[in-house]
């Protein structure tokens, strides 16, 4: 047997059957160990980070996962074609598919994970629970016989008593779970859970458990080797969940009793030993307010939240997975320690203002601060396309500190400075969680979000934030130089001001902007705008705001730093020019809405035009403002030519509407 810490790794080439941040993460450790990496990818991921980092990349089909990442035959064929000696499944996709693990082994390759038998047993909540009872691991009281008919199940569940939780045996990701608070609701909850489980997993078997009130989710990381050793790597707390999905995870658990930690760790090791567990796995427990804990399930793979364990233990869990897969023995339990505190938050491409539905788009900026105590596990970078085909998690943002208070303050600071533009994310929601006093105090339970941030939506931007954005939009930048230079002293006192109209979802914000001898004045306060490479500092009054902007047509993606950070998509609403044709009695002069340049003049004096026809286009504030005919009519005169610089309020042309014109 090779020693765990010396010599070339027995595994030489690993195919990673996954994508996104976990494929990147696994590849990094492979490279650190001198192991070559084979990436597989769908057509949608040809330019993805996990492909770029690999030594060999194999396309395995179209974007939908079932035609690529979930296609066992294609993944195996790619492994054979590239001479890989092992397959790492990551999490999700094929990672808990016992048939796939078996097929990998049958093909003469190493599956980096547990045996198919252990996977099958733990993938079945009812069978797993029975195995745990046999191993002396505490479980949640309830009915774990999944063969009962509804008629048999209902009276037994009634005996257990409400509150209850109906759970799909094949469940995952919170699907097929229904709480029941009144016995009268039990039959409908059972029917609904069966329907949902059948649709999601093709398996409608159920168990019923006591619903634990105000519980914490505590899980223990375990690793088993091929020599019968199982060690634990302490706990993670994952109590902050949205719709039963973890969004914040930490290690150690806040204010955790050392005796309880030891009891839960012992139970987790017993659970893993009971199924001859080999590889990295997680035993999840639910911890009641009374301090009693019970087995929930075992995840037979590397988990999303493994980095917090790595940061407090100094262990590279992927390296350990590779080592035990190669037959190397684990170190002894008493060599393992936990130091400091780590917190992870999951950054999702989703729209908090729209029910947290997955969001897609082009990441025009993906910039997470680096520095001491910060780790970013990411599958994307600036320029990436976020598609609807895959899990919306973009990255995991992880902080580490000597204690929880330091870790929390690093988290708050990082979340304030993280800039993600072009795709909606939950960044502001995560920042709101991190700023919650209960979170800072470590007072956690699985109902945390419902209790502290119910129905959270992004806050409306305040006037100062809007003024800062308006200043950045209105202030000339290098590309505007010609316009503003040719305008001459546009800053002369008395130059007419204009209005910047920004729409933030359904909120309309107006900021008045004027160019004066003192500089730019926004909402009656002088604003000093200093542009840097990709951000702009706005000093206005006694407030400094750093604005990062990425503009796509009339949509401005902005990140605002300052006391409160925010990311928003603001629409610059063009001033309507004479939208109301009735105002045009007789004739009208059309004026430039703001300082800018005439980029097109489509008409000449005497032209007959129809309503809606674009007459002149003025470019200002990095967008084009077409000035259109409000009604059918005639162009009386044109005062500007293409290329002219114009000031706010300057006459562009004279127009006469047809009705009044004909009659008059």
Per CB under 6 A, residues contacting ligand ADP are 140, 165, 171-174, 209-212, 215, 217, 241, 244, 284, 286, 296-297, 446
Locate 606 and state its tokens: 């005497």
Locate 35 and state its tokens: 């192991």
Least separation in angstroms between CB 297 and ligand ADP? 5
User: Cβ closer to ligand ADP: 51 or 238?
Assistant: 238
Least separation in angstroms between CB 524 and ligand ADP? 51
405's CB contacts (< 8 A; 6+ apart) are 440
User: Cβ closer to ligand ADP: 44 or 286?
Assistant: 286
Least separation in angstroms between CB 126 and ligand ADP? 12
Least separation in angstroms between CB 215 and ligand ADP? 5
Locate 487 and state its tokens: 């305008």
User: Cβ closer to ligand ADP: 412 or 446?
Assistant: 446
Least separation in angstroms between CB 125 and ligand ADP? 7
Whether the Cβ atoms of residue 611 and residue 631 lie closer than 8 Å to each other: yes
Element of type H or E holding 202: none
Whether the Cβ atoms of residue 444 and residue 214 lie closer than 8 Å to each other: no
Strands, E assignment, 541-613? 543-552, 555-560, 566-572, 588-591, 596-601, 608-609
Q: Facing residues of 307 across strands?
A: none
User: Cβ closer to ligand ADP: 211 or 397?
Assistant: 211
DSSP code, position 524: T
For residues 324 and 439, what is the distance between their CA atoms, to the nearest angstrom? 37
Least separation in angstroms between CB 452 and ligand ADP? 16
Phi/psi at 130 (nearest 5 deg)?
-65, -40
For residues 311 and 315, what is the distance between their CA atoms, to the nearest angstrom? 8
User: Cβ closer to ligand ADP: 296 or 652?
Assistant: 296
Least separation in angstroms between CB 476 and ligand ADP? 54
User: Cβ closer to ligand ADP: 163 or 187?
Assistant: 163
User: Cβ closer to ligand ADP: 241 or 364?
Assistant: 241
Helices (H), 110-241: 116-122, 125-134, 150-160, 186-201
* Closest by CA position to 472, among listed 414, 383, 413, 559: 559
Strands laid side by side in the 623-628 sheet:
623-628, 614-620, 596-601, 645-646
For residues 570 and 557, what is the distance between their CA atoms, to the nearest angstrom? 6
User: Cβ closer to ligand ADP: 277 or 293?
Assistant: 293
For residues 212 and 293, what is the distance between their CA atoms, to the nearest angstrom? 10
User: Cβ closer to ligand ADP: 172 or 361?
Assistant: 172
Whether the Cβ atoms of residue 233 and residue 261 lie closer than 8 Å to each other: no
* Closest by CA position to 205, among listed 147, 143, 131: 147
441's CB contacts (< 8 A; 6+ apart) are none
Q: How far is CA 168 from CA 66, 144, 225, in A?
A: 23, 11, 31
User: Cβ closer to ligand ADP: 214 or 388?
Assistant: 214
User: Cβ closer to ligand ADP: 196 or 607?
Assistant: 196
Least separation in angstroms between CB 438 and ligand ADP? 17
Least separation in angstroms between CB 342 and ligand ADP? 19
Least separation in angstroms between CB 400 and ligand ADP? 24
Least separation in angstroms between CB 447 and ligand ADP? 9
Least separation in angstroms between CB 213 and ligand ADP? 8
For residues 574 and 569, what is the distance between their CA atoms, to the nearest angstrom? 16
User: Cβ closer to ligand ADP: 48 or 343?
Assistant: 343
| Cα Rg of the chain (Å, integer) | 31
Least separation in angstroms between CB 217 and ligand ADP? 4
Locate 633 and state its tokens: 């009519």
Q: What is the DSSP string of 109-128?
A: -EESS--HHHHHHHTSHHHH
User: Cβ closer to ligand ADP: 203 or 607?
Assistant: 203
Whether the Cβ atoms of residue 393 and residue 21 lie closer than 8 Å to each other: yes
Q: What is the DSSP string of 227-263?
A: TS-EEEEEEEEEEEEETTEEEEEEESPTT--HHHHHH
Locate 661 and state its tokens: 């014109």
- Site of tokens 């088993």: 224
Q: How many CB atoms lie within 10 A of CB 563?
A: 10
Whether the Cβ atoms of residue 635 and residue 609 lie closer than 8 Å to each other: yes
User: Cβ closer to ligand ADP: 142 or 352?
Assistant: 142
Least separation in angstroms between CB 344 and ligand ADP? 16
- The residue count for the chain: 664
Least separation in angstroms between CB 78 and ligand ADP? 29
Least separation in angstroms between CB 160 and ligand ADP? 11
User: Cβ closer to ligand ADP: 296 or 414?
Assistant: 296
Residue 67, SS3 per DSSP = helix
User: Cβ closer to ligand ADP: 170 or 515?
Assistant: 170
Q: Facing residues of 419 across strands?
A: 367
């Amino acid at each position: 047997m090779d020693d765990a810490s010396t010599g070339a790794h027995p595994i030489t080439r690993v195919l990673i059957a996954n994508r996104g941040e976990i494929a990147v993460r696994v590849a990094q450790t492979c490279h650190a160990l001198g192991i070559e990496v084979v990436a597989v990818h769908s057509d949608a991921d040809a330019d993805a980070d996990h492909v770029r980092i690999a030594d060999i990349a194999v396309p395995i089909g179209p974007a939908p996962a079932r035609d690529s990442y979930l296609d066992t035959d294609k993944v195996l064929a790619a492994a054979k074609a590239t001479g890989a000696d092992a397959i790492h499944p990551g999490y999700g996709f094929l990672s808990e598919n016992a048939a796939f693990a078996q097929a990998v082994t049958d093909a003469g390759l190493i599956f980096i994970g547990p045996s198919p038998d252990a996977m099958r047993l733990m993938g079945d909540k009812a069978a797993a629970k029975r195995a745990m009872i046999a191993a002396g691991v505490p479980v949640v009281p309830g009915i774990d016989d999944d063969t009962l008919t509804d008629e048999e199940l209902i009276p037994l569940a009634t005996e257990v008593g409400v509150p209850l939780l109906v759970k799909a045996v094949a469940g995952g990701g919170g699907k097929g779970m229904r709480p029941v608070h009144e016995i009268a609701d039990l039959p409908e909850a059972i029917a609904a859970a069966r329907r949902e489980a059948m649709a999601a997993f093709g398996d409608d078997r159920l168990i019923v458990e006591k619903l634990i009130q105000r519980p914490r989710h505590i899980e223990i990381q375990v690793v088993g080797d091929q020599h019968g050793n199982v060690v634990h790597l302490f706990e993670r707390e994952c109590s902050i969940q949205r719709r039963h999905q973890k969004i914040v995870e930490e290690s150690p658990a806040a204010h955790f009793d050392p005796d309880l930690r030891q009891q839960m760790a012992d139970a987790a090791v017993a659970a893993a030993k009971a199924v001859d567990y080999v590889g990295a796995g997680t035993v999840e427990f639910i911890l009641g307010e009374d301090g009693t804990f019970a087995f929930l399930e075992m995840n037979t793979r590397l988990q999303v939240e493994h980095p917090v364990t790595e940061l407090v233990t100094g262990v590279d869990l992927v390296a350990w997975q590779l080592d035990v897969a190669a037959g190397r023995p684990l170190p002894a339990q008493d060599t393992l320690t936990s130091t400091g505190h780590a917190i992870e938050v999951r950054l999702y491409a989703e729209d908090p203002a729209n029910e947290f539905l997955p969001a897609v788009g082009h990441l025009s900026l993906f910039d997470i601060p680096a520095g001491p105590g910060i780790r970013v596990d990411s599958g994307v970078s600036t320029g990436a396309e976020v598609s609807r085909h895959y899990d919306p998690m973009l990255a995991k943002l992880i902080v580490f500190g000597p204690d929880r208070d330091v870790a929390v303050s690093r988290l708050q600071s990082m979340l304030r400075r993280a800039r993600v533009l072009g795709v909606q994310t939950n960044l502001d929601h995560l920042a709101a969680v991190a700023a919650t006093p209960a979170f800072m105090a470590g007072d956690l339970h699985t109902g945390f979000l419902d209790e502290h941030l119910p129905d959270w939506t992004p806050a409306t931007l305040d006037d100062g934030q809007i003024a800062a954005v308006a200043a950045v939009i209105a202030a000339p930048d290098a590309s505007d130089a010609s316009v503003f230079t040719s305008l001459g002293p546009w800053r002369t006192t008395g130059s007419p001001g204009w209005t910047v109209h920004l729409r933030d979802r359904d909120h309309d914000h107006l900021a008045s902007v004027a160019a004066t001898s003192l500089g730019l004045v926004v909402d009656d306060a002088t604003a000093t705008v200093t542009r840097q490479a990709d951000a702009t500092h706005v000093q206005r009054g006694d407030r400094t705001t750093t604005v990062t902007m990425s503009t796509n047509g009339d949509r401005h993606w902005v990140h605002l730093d300052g006391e409160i950070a925010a990311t928003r998509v603001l629409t610059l609403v063009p001033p309507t020019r004479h939208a109301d044709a009735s105002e045009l009695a007789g004739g009208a002069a059309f004026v430039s809405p703001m300082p800018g340049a005439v980029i097109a003049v489509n008409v000449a004096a005497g032209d007959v035009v129809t309503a809606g026809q674009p007459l002149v286009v003025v470019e200002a504030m990095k967008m084009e403002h077409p000035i259109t005919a409000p009604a059918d009519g005639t162009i009386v005169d044109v005062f500007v030519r293409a290329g002219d610089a114009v000031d706010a309020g300057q006459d562009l042309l004279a127009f006469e509407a047809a009705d009044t014109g004909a009659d008059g």
